[in-house]
Amino acid sequence: MWNNAKDRMLRERATEVIPGGMYGHQSVALMPEDTPQFFIKAEGTRITDVDGNVYIDFMCAYGPNLLGYNHPDVMRAVSDQQSRIDASTGPSPLIVDLAEAMVSMISHADWAMFCKNGSDATMMALMIARAYRGKRKVLVARKAYHGSMPWSTPRPAGVVDEDRAHVIYFDYGDPQSLKDAVVSADGDLAGIFATPYRHDVFADQSMPDREYAQVARDLADEHDALLIVDDVRAGFRVTRDCTWESIGVRPDLSAWGKVLGNGQPISALMGNNRARDAASQIYATGSYWFAAVPMAAALETLRIIRETKYLEDMHRIGKAFRDGLNAQAKDIGIGVRCTGPETLPMLQFEDDPDFRVCYGFCRAAMKRGVYLSPYHNMFTNAAMTETDIAQTLEATGAAFEEIKSNRASLQPSTKVMAMTGS
Ligand code: PMP
């Protein structure tokens, strides 16, 4: 029987010693009531919370779990490397092997720099774009997430206007809005940031059309600025290359993170020769950026990406999940929208402006052993099988029944209403 007594106790302790009880994207403050905050095990497709409840995990550590938690080949590479050298006085030869491997896989790229988090990579992209021609303005789509730095964080606390004085916002997917933003840069355009497709929180996902991506490319060229694709979230879940390669548009820079080491801490910035000098001029570094163990994990992850059909398997499983959800919703007469790539599914409900139905549904699925998100896109991983999806659909089928019967009593979360302004 599901219970969360230990989780509740830990949360109380955390409130005393961790600001707000928890911070950042892994705080469950915005998740449905009772969502566990603390976990003690992650293996394959499953996570186990501190009370021993096991979930099929459709958040995949918010991305890093690509091949299954503790993938045996990756973990072997980790332990082999651990016995030799990790963080040290200088990088190991693996940094060259890894740069070569990434350059050989990412078509637009001639060089690589490695760091720890996605925010490190997008910050380097910002600096390189400015170092490139000494210009200042960067274009960013409204509501797009590019990390937790002052220029990009979604929260205003601790940020001053000057941090964003040279950030100009435009509407994602709208070529005219992009053109207008370029005009307002008034000859001072350093770079254009692009998420590979629209994956904002609390919103349906949408794929970009080629024309929009091409307009971004052309505007960057016309103004001698850099085009940057932020592939931190979608990288290697859509294609084995930069995600915009699939629509035929090549950026100058692309930011990578999350999946690179299948959970080991490593991210990357990839760039072309146009951006090479600027990249060699900026000062960007960190105590752990050169550590060898995550690089060994990344080399093995990349080998699996190249040599196996992990991506095709993920698409098949993601499609089975999506088709199953759609069929269940139709049968029970509840409108849902499943949007985005099958490997990064987003679920929203019709007639649910304050998200109460979606929250009720995810809570009901969670109590039946399936961890979903009602506001953020989800992730599949290559360890998921048809059996996992059958088990997932058993839980979601019961969750649909539950919200159908108690829909009238569902309440919106006050935190969500404050966030979304609904
Ligand atoms: N860009 C995108 C598109 C992301 O999804 C994220 C993380 N959710 C980041 C940047 C920042 O990555 P990190 O949390 O590793 O700093």
Q: Where do we find the tokens 């109460």? A: 356
* Shared-domain flag, residues 116 and 265: yes
Tell me the pLDDT tens digit for each residue of 341-351. 999 999 999 99
Considering the domain architecture, whether residues 366 and 255 belong to the same structural domain is answered as no
CA 67 – CA 261 distance, rounded (Å): 10
pLDDT tens profile 292-332: 999 999 999 999 999 999 999 999 999 999 999 999 999 99
29 in any annotated domain: yes
Q: Do 153 and 288 belong together in one domain? A: yes
Residues 212 and 107 in one domain: yes
Q: For residues 227 and 272, give the distance between their C-alpha atoms in angstroms, rounded to a whole number.
A: 11
Which residue, 307, 328, 350, sits at the end of a domain? 307
Q: How far is the CA of 69 from the centre of ligand 1 (A)?
A: 19
- Note whether 36 and 145 are same-domain residues: no
Q: Cβ atoms within 10 A of the Cβ of 390, count?
A: 11
pLDDT band at 36 (very low <50, low <70, confident <90, very high): very high
Q: Are residue 149 and residue 292 in the same domain, yes or no?
A: yes
State the residue range of the domain holding 96.
Answer: 72-307
CATH code assigned at 167: 3.40.640.10
Residue 257 CB–ligand 1 contact under 6 Å? yes
**Closest CA to ligand 1's atom 13:** 118
pLDDT of residue 415: 79
ipTM metric: 0.99
Cβ atoms < 10 Å from Cβ of 307: 8
Contact 121, 255 (CB under 8 A): yes
Domain membership of residue 225 (yes or no) is: yes
Regarding the beta carbon of 117 and ligand 1, being less than 6 Å apart is answered: yes
**Stretch (H or E) spanning 370:** strand 370-371
Asked if 297 contacts 262 with a C-beta cutoff of 8 angstroms, the reply is: yes
Given a contact cutoff of 8 angstroms between Cβ atoms, the answer to whether 101 and 236 are in contact is: no
DSSP code of residue 259: G
Atom number, ligand 1, closest to the C-alpha of residue 233:
5
pLDDT in tens, 273-286: 999 999 999 999 99
In a domain, 326, yes or no: yes
